[in-house]
Structure 1
Amino acid sequence: MAGDLLLFHIDTIVVDGTPMAFEDGSGTLTGAARFENETVLSASGDDYSRRKRIPTLFKVRAQFGKSLDPQTLTSQSEVQITARDTQSGRRALMPKCSFASMGDLGGGAVEVTWAVLAPIQWL
């Protein structure tokens, strides 16, 4: 029963068919639901909620080397990214992602963000 309660921890990332070196524990998905609900206050009576679209972003602290350079990442458009938790076997397949931003270079691993342009497929 305890095996069913594992948290999703990204430990393998494949970008456009190529495995990516990254800082362990740095892969995160923000806005995976693709929406959030806001509370709208009523002047009187019950309040209500309003659904709002939000962007889905995939962030990771990339480690550049011979197989990965900043130019390669910044030119990526509509690539497929797979984030996998090898312990649980769960995968998040992001079929359509484009480069969004890159953090400061020169201090070790660099935060790279992709915009996830299609719903995540949980496998």
Structure 2
Amino acid sequence: MEARTHLQLGSVLYHHTRNGDQARGHLEKAWLISQQIPQFEDVKFEAASLLSELYCQENSVDTAKPLLRKAIQISQQTPYWHCRLLFQLAVSDPWPCSRKKAWESPGFPWDALFTPLSCGC
């Protein structure tokens, strides 16, 4: 319960205020507490995702990447979060981190991701 409360507070502060310090504190607590509770995958991975997004927004990509890698490592049994976190890590490299996700931008190379297979399948 405490982890979910910290996640909600951090999310509200991140999305609706300019108080990154408080948002970061709540999201870090949510991430740390939720790692101890196996049933809280949604809290754990949402906290990791938002926290790494906040780190990127603060130009702390070197802090965001290890967090994402750890979350990816432990998310292998939850395909939705595993893929989402992989995408988040992938877009933190070629594009500068910003509040808008890279795959939402007009220049994202969707055609390169979804090219037809040439194997004749």
Higher normalized helix content (fraction of residues):
2
Same fold by TM (over 0.5)? no
Higher normalized strand content (fraction of residues):
1
Q: Name the TM-score class by shorter chain.
A: under 0.3
**Higher relative contact order structure (alpha carbons within 8 Å, sequence separation ≥ 6):** 1
TM-score (norm 2): 0.22
